[in-house]
Amino acid sequence: MRVGVFICHCGSNIAGTVDVAKVAEEARKMPGVAYATDYMYTCSEPGQKEITDAIERDKLDRVVVAACSPRMHENTFRRTVMKAGLNRYFFEQANIREHVSWIGLDKELNTTKAIEEVRMAVAKVMKNKPLFSSSFKINKRVLVIGGGVAGMQAAIDCADGGLEVVMVEKSPSIGGMMARLDKTFPTVDCSICILGPKMVDVAQHDLIKLHAYSEIAEIKGYVGNYQVKIRKKPTYVDWTKCTGCGLCMEKCPTKNAYDHFNFGAAPTRAINIPFPQAIPKKATIDPNYCRQFVKGKCGVCAKVCPTGAINYEMQEEFITEEVGAIITATGYGLMDMEKLTEYGGGRYPDVISGIQYERFLNASGPTSGHIIRPSDHEEPKTIVFVSCAGSRDKSCGVPYCSNFCCMYIAKQAILTKDHIPDSQSYVFYMDIRSPGKGYDEFTRRAQEEYGAKYIRGRVSRIYPKGKKMVVKGADTLLGTQVEIEADLVVLATAVVSAPGAGQMAEKLHISYDTFGFYVESHPKLRPVETNTSGVYLAGACQGPKDIPASVGQGSAAAAKVLSLFSKDMLESDPAIAQVNTNNCVGCLKCLKTCPFQAIVEDTLRSGKKVAKVIETVCAGCGVCTSTCPCGAIQLQHFTDNQLLAEVNAICQK
C-alpha cells in the first residue's frame, strides 16, 4: 500500500502554530506512507495538481490531506483523487486547523497533535475500501412549508420553473407577517398592495397546490423521495361551499375571541376571515370561543350562511403528499411582552407591541387605521417607542439583535406624524442599526423631517400616572435621567423563533440553534442549504430578516431546488450499511433499531433468514452496526475495523 500525505499550511492558519515540515517528516516514517510533503495551500489549483502529480509519479493508491475540517474540503479532495484515477473513498482528511492550530497555543503540543491526527488518518485510509454510488430517480415536486413572503417567493419561482409545488400554511390565510404590516420601509410602500399580487399568484398558479390551515404531521424519506403527512385542521366550515361573504362574521354573537391575525390588538368574532385580502378568503371557527363548542348551543352562523357551509362536526383530516425537496419558510415569532415586567406590557392597556401598533396604523386593522389609546380610545399625542425590548439582552435570553426593529420604529414614527400631525414621537434606542440601501437616510428623515426625538439610552420602568404612562429612562448622551409622560408606549419586542420551531426541525432532521433558529449548512457559502440534503431554508426561520432578505432567500432556495431537479437521477451515497450473510444469524435486532426502516428480513436460497439493507433508504447512521451482536452488518466507510484502526493509532504506540 502506498499512501501519500499532504500537509497544508493554509497560509499561516496552520503553519503559524504547527511545525508543518516536522509533521511531513514524521509522516514519512509511518508504515504504509510512500510520500509526504507540505504545501502552502493544498486546496488551490497547484496544490491539487501536486496531489494528482504525486499519485502518478509515486504510484500512490491512498491519499491523506491534513488541512482544514473535512466538512469544508472533503469533497474538493475526493474529486482531486478521482481525477487521478483513485476511488474517492481512498481519501481521508485530517483536521489540523479547526481541531489543532486554531485552538492550541503551544506550537510543540500542536505539532505533536497534528502528527497523531495524521497517524489516525493514515491508519484509517489503509483500511478503506473502494465504494461506488448507484443512482436513483427523483420525484420532481417540492414542498414549501410556510406561506409568508419568503415561502410564497420560493413557491412562485419553483412553479414558474415548471415544478409542482405543495404549500402548507398553518394559519387560515397565506401572507404571513408581511400581510399584517401597514407600510414597508424605506419606501413607505403599502405592504398588502405589493404582497397582494404575490398572494394571488400563489392562489392562481396551476402548479401550486395550497393547503391552508394545515400542519406537517410527519416527514419520511430522503432527498428525491419524501413522503409528507399533512394534518388538515378542522375549520368547521366547508371551504368548497364558503364564498367568503362574511355574513357569519357579522352575525356571530361571540365578540371577544382572540384575534391571532391582529396579535390581540382588539378582539374578533369566533367565526372570522382574518383580513379582507385573505387567501383563501374563507371563514374559520375558533372552537375555543365559539358558543356552539363552549356552551353547546348557538348555531347562528349555520342559520345565516347562505350556502350552508357550516359543519360543526368536522374532523381533522390527514393527507399524504410525495415530494423530492422541501423548502422551510416557517418565519419567526415575537417575544411575549409580558415577559418584560418592568415595561408593563399586558398589564397596562396603553403599553402595546410594535406589531399591534402596526395593526392600528393599518386601514383594514381593528381601528380602520385610526391610532387610538386602547384604554379610552382617545387619540394619543405623545408616543414613546422603546427599541430593543428584549433584544440584545442576555437576561431575556435574546443576546442577538432583532435586525429590523430600528427601521420599523423609524417608519412607525413617520406614519404617526402623518396620521396625527400634532403628535410627538420619542424613540429610546441603544444604537440605530440601519445598514441597508436607503436605510440610514430613512432613519434620518424620521428625525429631521418628521421631528421624532431620538434618545440614546434604555428605559428602566414604565408606570401609569393618571391617564398617562410615565416612561423613565436614561439619556446616555446627555448623561441625565429622562421622564416622559406618554399617551401610548410601543415596545419593539424581540424577534424570536416561530412557536414550535424546534419540533418542526426535528421532523425535518435539521439542526437548530439555542434560540430555535435553523442552522444553515455554512454561514457564508451555503446560506440556504441545511445539513440534510433536499431541505432548504428561506426567510426568518434561519434568523431575523427583513423583507428584501427574506424574498432573496426565498428565490435562492427555489434556485437550489431547480438545480437539484435539473437532473433526472441522483447519486446515492455509498457509505451505507452492508450485510455479510455468512456472519448474519438472523436475529434481526438491526431491523428493530434502524431509524429509517431500511432493513428487511430476507431468506437466502439455503433457507437461512438474514437481514437485508434497502440501499436507497439507508441513510448511513450506523446504529445497526453497533447493534449487531456478530459484526455482520457493517456501515461502509465507518466499519468496526476502520474505526478501531483509528483507536489503535492513538492508543497503541
Partner 1 sequence: MSEVAPKELRIVGFLCNWCSYGGADTAGVGRFKQPTDLRIIRVPCSGRVDPMFVVRALLTGADGVLVSGCHPRDCHYTDGNFYARRRLEMLKRLLPFMGIDDKRFHYTWVSASEGQKWQQVVTGFTNQVHALGPMHQK
Binding residues vs partner 1 (CB under 8 A): 26, 69-72, 95, 97-100, 102-106, 108-110, 112-113, 115-117, 120, 502, 505-506, 509, 511-514, 519, 531-532, 575, 593, 595-596, 619-623, 625-627, 635, 638, 640, 643-644, 646-648, 650-653
Task: Give the residue with the Cβ less far from partner 1, 447 or 531.
Answer: 531
Q: How far is the CB of 115 from partner 1 (least distance, A)?
A: 6
DSSP string, 108-130: HHHHHHHHHHHHHHHHHHHH---
Q: How far is the CB of 105 from partner 1 (least distance, A)?
A: 6
Q: How far apart are CA 437 and CA 130, in angstroms?
A: 52
Task: Give the residue with the Cβ less far from partner 1, 365 or 622.
Answer: 622
Q: What is the largest CA-CA distance in the chain?
A: 93
Q: How far is the CB of 97 from partner 1 (least distance, A)?
A: 7
Of 527, 480, 528, 532, nearest to 504 (Cα)? 532
Q: How far is the CB of 468 from partner 1 (least distance, A)?
A: 44
Q: Looking at 439-498, which runs of residues are DSSP E strands?
A: 453-456, 459-465, 468-475, 480-486, 488-493, 495-497
Q: Are 442 and 186 in contact (CB under 8 A)?
A: yes
Q: How far is the CB of 533 from partner 1 (least distance, A)?
A: 11
Phi, psi of 398 (to 5 degrees): -125, 80
Task: Give the residue with the Cβ less far from partner 1, 182 or 646.
Answer: 646
Task: Give the residue with the Cβ less far from partner 1, 207 or 588.
Answer: 588
Q: What is the DSSP letter of 398?
A: B
Task: Give the residue with the Cβ less far from partner 1, 228 or 452.
Answer: 228
Q: How far apart are CA 312 and CA 298, in angstroms?
A: 11
- Locate 46 and state its grid cell: 497547484
Task: Give the residue with the Cβ less far from partner 1, 189 or 640.
Answer: 640
Q: How far is the CB of 111 from partner 1 (least distance, A)?
A: 9
Task: Give the residue with the Cβ less far from partner 1, 213 or 512.
Answer: 512
3-state secondary structure 244-304: CCCHHHHHCCCCCECCCCCCCCCCECCEECCCCCCCCCCCEECCCCCHHHHCCCCCHHHHH
Q: How far is the CB of 66 from partner 1 (least distance, A)?
A: 13
Q: How far is the CB of 68 from partner 1 (least distance, A)?
A: 9
- Locate 95 and state its grid cell: 483536521
Query: What does each C-alpha distance from 189 to 94, 119, 638 come to in angstroms?
Result: 53, 62, 56
Which residue's C-alpha cell is 409545488?
Answer: 165
Task: Give the residue with the Cβ less far from partner 1, 364 or 531.
Answer: 531
Of 539, 580, 534, 579, nearest to 560 (Cα)? 534
